[in-house]
Structure 1
């Protein structure tokens, strides 16, 4: 068994240790001179020649020609990228020599990331740059199946100045295995040097990364002040007739900075049940392959919406608002309705404002105390009038009745009472020693009249 495995292990290690693709600087021709940015360099028309001959120089760069100082040697200080061009020396009108000056620096080391927008798209590998590459910089990418001795396919990469990155397209043959590992190598080179990126091992499923969802909208649901309906659509690069996506939704009220998230959404809509009443909400959606292969897409553009608001609540909130005037004591006064702030009359004198400011700002408890005192005084007066009216009525009735007719002798219950005219309306205060309850004019209540 072990004798059979040894050749296989040897082949695997041999394939893994296979030499990398060559990555070296571009070759320079004999009439090309290389200079680094910021360096000093001297161009010579010839090494040996007559000293009494006047040599003139001319440079052709960016489609224009310019005369330079004369002399066999042409010093150039603190080179810039703009100094690159073709320098020619002349004796009279005869061209003696032409030199091509390149002002370049070695390229940046590529840090490659690969992704695939859907199952039926090619793989794109890219890396960003900190600075624009020098003219003539070349970027190459090689792909081959891992642990095999087959030759790698070579791809030329393009530089996109708008996004400041190199992009390489890897053609995926029809019927390729989505889980078979692939080895990706990169190299960037120019006349000043070269840089090789780190090898990456990828699978077609592993590099899936859909585009963000499109047409995200947020709408209110009628008579639901805490709900929002979010709708979106599949990205145009994903064919949802054969492959599906799952989505993640995040949302927050506008004053807040933290998002709430909802995972494992398989539809293209979602109802949010815990929205904040009356607040605008920011909503974003992202997508991933339905079985979790690959990476999540970027978040979609922000969509904004607010829950449904009852018009009655809106009117009540808009009906009164705080218009606080600073008072003399540093406090703030009344909360006034908005109609008081409308200018009264064509001259805009604002009469209601003056009237409102002249009103008393007394506390409502003062009016309650005053009204209660008034009612208590009125009740006391009515009680006194009723008491005297009944006494007057009894005196008149006794005076009109014949003497001795139908009279009955009343046996007093206690000591004889003083006449009514001598009875005060309010009894004098009792001494603490009496210990009893005194009721004034008890005979009045027991008279039976």
Structure 2
């Protein structure tokens, strides 16, 4: 059984985010970067109004004129209503008398992260644990991920190694094969609008999933018009097959437009004779593998192979 624990989303209780703005060099002067959540009823863009200036003029992408779904407040700030991606732009406030630039801000819109949905698996006992995660909703913002793990809820925290900074996957190299204490993976999604974390608990035997079997061959059997011989090899990534044997299931079908297929019962052998074959028909076959003790999941199906039973001349 897998458990997923959700941690609460931490967001400021205001209409937009002003914490730690970054500053971007643009054509002239500096542009403040401001982030806000899509769909908010109101987002405020501030303008530092100097003494002697009684009103301000706001422009979008250097263009003067009415601003869609917006109004200027008495303090000079610009209020945007029911924000959508169409309102993501550079805004600037000016002295309406002289046109002097007072402030520039680029509004970037999106969503805070969701709780990551995590999957962990290993292709063999003794191989590293590979974990991946995703979020169902596009945030429209650069979202990075931090990943750590520990052995047991109170164990020492270690880095789950990611292939690059902020990647959506990581690997754990040193795992106790037969531990009854679960490992705990902690993945935190971070973007300018907040953070969201998820804990994923697993035991090694729960997440075993071999790679597909390899080198599948289908051949006719002389003088047997209703049989086909199948042979394949265990996945080369499966370590120690003498200690951890695999079992296999076979899926086979005739490409006759019905797309119907049959599946055999599991076998521990790496060869099999299909019986009841339709003479002269071409069969398409695939094989999947699973730990013989029924731990974890079946592999994906192997690459297909095809064959036709022996036909008398």
TM-score (norm 1): 0.51
CA contact (8 A) 1:212 1:235 kept: yes
Pick the structure with greater CA Rg: 1
Alignment of 1:223-238 (within 5 A): 223-238=223-238
1:249 aligns with 2:217: no
The whole-number CA distance in structure 2 between the counterparts of 1:284 and 1:290 is 18
1:172 aligns with 2:173: yes
Point out where structure 1 has 5 or more consecutive residues left out of the alignment: 1-18, 59-65, 160-165, 312-449
- Please name the residue that 2:302 is paired with: 300
- Please name the residue that 2:146 is paired with: 140
What is the CA-CA distance between 1:144 and the residue it aligns to? Answer: 1.3
CA contact (8 A) 1:234 1:240 kept: no
- Please name the residue that 1:109 is paired with: 115
Greater fraction of residues in strand: 2
Q: Specify the SS of the correspondent of 1:169.
A: strand
The whole-number CA distance in structure 2 between the counterparts of 1:241 and 1:101 is 57
The whole-number CA distance in structure 2 between the counterparts of 1:252 and 1:277 is 13
TM-score (norm 2): 0.70
Alignment of 1:410-429 (within 5 A): none
The root-mean-square deviation of aligned C-alpha atoms, in Å, is 3.8
Provide Cα deviations, 1:47-101, integer angstroms capped at 9, x if missing partner.
Answer: 565447775646xxxxxxx423268655656544475465444567965334342
- Please name the residue that 1:97 is paired with: 103
After TM superposition, the structure 1 stretch with the greater mean CA deviation from structure 2, 125-134 or 279-288, is 125-134
Q: Specify the SS of the correspondent of 1:112.
A: strand
- Please name the residue that 1:284 is paired with: 286
- Please name the residue that 1:210 is paired with: 210
The whole-number CA distance in structure 2 between the counterparts of 1:36 and 1:20 is 21
The whole-number CA distance in structure 2 between the counterparts of 1:230 and 1:81 is 56
- The 1:299/1:68 distance shift into structure 2, 3 A limit, reads same
Provide Cα deviations, 1:392-444, integer angstroms capped at 9, x if missing partner.
Answer: xxxxxxxxxxxxxxxxxxxxxxxxxxxxxxxxxxxxxxxxxxxxxxxxxxxxx
- Please name the residue that 1:407 is paired with: none
- The 1:120/1:49 distance shift into structure 2, 3 A limit, reads farther
When the two structures are aligned, how many residues end up with a matched partner? 276
Greater fraction of residues in helix: 1
Q: Specify the SS of the correspondent of 1:205.
A: helix
The whole-number CA distance in structure 2 between the counterparts of 1:49 and 1:235 is 75
Alignment of 1:13-92 (within 5 A): 24=10, 28-30=19-21, 32-39=33-40, 41-47=43-49, 49-51=51-53, 55=57, 57=59, 66-69=61-64, 74=78, 76=80, 79-81=83-85, 83-84=87-88, 87-89=91-93
1:150 aligns with 2:155: yes
Q: Specify the SS of the correspondent of 1:238.
A: coil
Alignment of 1:187-198 (within 5 A): 187-197=188-198
- The 1:209/1:167 distance shift into structure 2, 3 A limit, reads farther
What is the CA-CA distance between 1:105 and the residue it aligns to? Answer: 1.4
1:127 aligns with 2:133: yes
Provide Cα deviations, 1:109-147, integer angstroms capped at 9, x if missing partner.
Answer: 223221111234321222343333332323333321225
- The 1:79/1:21 distance shift into structure 2, 3 A limit, reads closer
Point out where structure 2 has 5 or more consecutive residues left out of the alignment: 22-31, 66-71
